[in-house]
Amino acid sequence: MEQLFVIKIGGNVIDDPQKLEGFLRSFASVKGKKILVHGGGKIATKIGTGLGIEPNYHQGRRITDDKTIDLVTMVYGGLVNKKIVASLQALGNNSIGLTGADANVIRAVKRPVKEIDFGWVGDIPRHSINTSFLVSLFSQDITPVFAALTHDNQGHILNTNADTIASQLAVSLSGAFDVRLIYCFEKKGVLMDVEDDHSVIGRIDHALYQQLLTEKKLFEGIIPKIDNAFDAINSGVREVLIGDSSDLLANTTKDTTGTLIIY
């Protein structure tokens, strides 16, 4: 099958104009079919504070009330998304900026209220991606660039985790493409020693992961990323790569510098 890269950039890249410029140059140079997924970093918080909309978080997750969903729609789907698309056009990469509402690409459901009401936050059920539309874009050599927004098919935009969007896009397209899902963040990969950036674990399979968990050798913060990676792999994605945004080009080859999560 033809290869497809689904690439998610973290907020640390969005927040640093120099890093973002370097990343987009690398992304534009990636050959073949690809998708980019991004959030908004700290830009939404900065603009919101200026408008009198104070951020509200629970365990690191943004609670999205009526004012906040308007804010993140403007910032993620407008300012950040269109700046990225314009930059890619300047680099010769024909792109289209999208939210999940456009062409009904990603339908989600509002997260149920349990102990916490997260407001207009969306969770993506399986089989809710409009894959035929994405395939039609690929056939025209157009690169989709997704902001971290979906919709509920009832007229509401939903704030949705960018990692989740990237994972669900990768899973939904894994039947038609050989997919490598790449999570770009501030470390070189999964580290054996969180204080040593050179202690990257090159490959992790199920057996090694269980061993590392048993021996408590992994930094707690990286465990949810690895769990998400294995969820994607168990649903049809061939490989998931966790690595530094500056190493993107290398991490789209066989000679990866980050951590490759495999069966």
Say yes or no to pLDDT of 71 above 80.
yes
* Structure-token pair, residue 120: 């207009």
The three-point CA angle 11-157-164 to 5° equals: 45
Q: How many structural domains are present in the chain?
A: 1
- How far apart are the C-alpha atoms of 250 and 7, rounded to whole Å? 13
* 153 is known to lie in a ligand binding site: no
Instruction: State yes or no: pLDDT of 58 exceeds 90.
Output: no
Average pLDDT of the residues in 211-230 = 88
Task: Note the pLDDT tens digit of each residue in 148-189.
Answer: 999 999 999 999 999 999 999 999 999 999 999 999 988 899
Whether residue 32 is annotated as binding a ligand: the answer is no
DSSP state string for 88-102:
HHHTT--EEEE-TTG
What band does 224 get if pLDDT is binned at 50, 70 and 90? Answer: confident
Instruction: Quote the pLDDT of residue 263.
Output: 83
Q: Alpha-carbon Rg of the chain, whole angstroms?
A: 18
Tokens linked to 137: 């874009």
Instruction: Share the mean pLDDT of the chain.
Output: 94
Check which CATH number belongs to the domain holding 209 and give it: 3.40.1160.10
DSSP string, the chain: --EEEEEEE-HHHHT-HHHHHHHHHHHHH--SEEEEEE--TTHHHHHHHHTT----EETTEE-B-HHHHHHHIIIIIIIIHHHHHHHHHHTT--EEEE-TTGGG-BB-EEPPPSSS--BSBEE--TT-B-HHHHHHHHHTT-EEEEESEEE-SSS-EEE--HHHHHHHHHHHHTTTSEEEEEEEESSSSSBSSTT-TT-B--EE-HHHHHHHHHTT-S-GGGHHHHHHHHHHHHTT--EEEEEEGGGTTGGGSSS-SSEEE--
C-beta neighbour count of 92 within 10 angstroms: 8
Domain hosting residue 194, numbered range: 3-261
The pLDDT value recorded for residue 176 is 95
Residue 11 has a pLDDT of 87
Per-residue pLDDT at 98:
98
Question: How confident is the model at residue 219, as a pLDDT?
Answer: 84
